Amino acid sequence: MTIQQLEYVIALDTYRHFVTAAEKCFVTQPTITIQVKKLEDEIGFLIFDKSKSPFKPSDLGEVFILKAKVILHEVKELKNMVNVELDNLEGEYRMAVIPTISSYLIPLISGSFSKKYPNTILKIQEMESDQIIMALQKKEIDLGILVTPLNEPFIREIKLYNEPFIFYGQEDSFEKEKNSISAAEIEKLDNIWLLENGHCFRKQVLNICGNTDNNKNIQFQSGSIEALKRMVDNYGGYTLVPEMAINNTDKGRILHFNEPKPIREVSLVTHHTFSKDVLIDALRLEILDKTPKEFEKNERFIKINWR
């Protein structure tokens, strides 16, 4: 017995005509005839007495139809409840963001998001990419923001933007007239400052730079992009940073890459059982509104994989 079969029975009771009932149910007349016959075979009695014209419900059929109407009404109420719940943003949600994104993105969106959705609580914590993947698999968090693609079958990816890499070196790294740099030029440099192991941004930078020789007597790896920038300012060398990490107080030499620019793809991710699309869309729109508009353009970019 299926909900669809019950709907066919109610349609036949309402219109007392197979063709009309089929049209109202957007199916063919043979479909509705076959399905009602299957239902009658299953329950062991005829729902409709077809010996009369127009046909009418049998005695047991009338009782069955009354029950079917109650069931379909309850199903409709259940669907309405689910739809209201799915469209409701209220509640507490757990979100993890990788450190090289959270420091620059979360301060941009937190104030405006909390004002728009005062009854939505986002519990945000920093995690490295592999930790976010594991937490999503265990359903310890609801959402994540990290670099994609992940190619994990249990994770749903909602792309947000492409963020370019930026060269950050000392002021005298290149002649003053130079205003852009290529990946080939980067490969010839040494004394690069890197994030510590475990950060996907480190892996992306290594994919771009190739040469990672560091001839300085101080060997420093940090979990902070800001710390790497200060090492460049005070000790030389260079690093690569995401574009959103650049600000007006930086003292170093900033160079954009030639086209096509190396970028990182930033996405909102969740496990496939998370059903709050209304929350996903609210976060997505807030993020796209607060990030530089050019990040939304995907043409002529090279995607730098980190896994």
Q: Exposed, middle or buried by CB within 10 Å (0-12, 13-18, 19+), for 78? A: exposed
Query: What does the pLDDT look like over 49-92, one tens digit per residue?
Result: 888 888 899 999 999 999 999 898 888 878 766 766 667 788 88
Query: What does the pLDDT look like over 148-201, one tens digit per residue?
Result: 999 899 999 999 999 998 888 887 777 777 888 887 787 777 777 777 665 666
| Rounded Cα–Cα distance for residues 255 and 251 (Å) | 13
Nearest to 102 by CA among 118, 125, 85: 125
Domain at 164-262, CATH from 3.40.228.10, 3.40.50.740, 3.40.50.880, 3.40.190.10: 3.40.190.10
Sorted by where each begins, the domain ranges of the chain are 3-86, 91-161+264-303, 164-262
Residue type at position 95:
M
Q: Which of 95-99, 154-158, 202-206 is predicted with the least confidence, judged by mean pLDDT?
A: 202-206
**Average pLDDT, whole number, for the chain?**
84
CA torsion 297-299-302-307 (nearest 10°) is: 60
Does pLDDT of 299 surpass 60?
A: no
| Residue 74 CB contacts under 8 Å (≥ 6 apart), including other chains | none
Q: Which letter, b or e, does each residue of 81-96 get, where b requires 16 or more Cβ atoms within 10 Å of its Cβ?
A: eeeeeeeeeeeebbbb
pTM over 0.85: no
| Rounded Cα–Cα distance for residues 146 and 55 (Å) | 63
Which CATH code fits 3-86? 1.10.10.10
Query: What does the pLDDT look like over 239-285, one tens digit per residue?
Result: 888 899 888 888 888 888 888 888 889 999 999 888 888 899 899 98
Which CATH code fits 91-161+264-303? 3.40.190.10
CA torsion 51-57-61-63 (nearest 10°) is: -150
**Which residue do the tokens 């030029």 mark?**
185
| Residue 17 CB contacts under 8 Å (≥ 6 apart), including other chains | 54
Q: Do 91-161+264-303 and 164-262 have matching folds?
A: yes
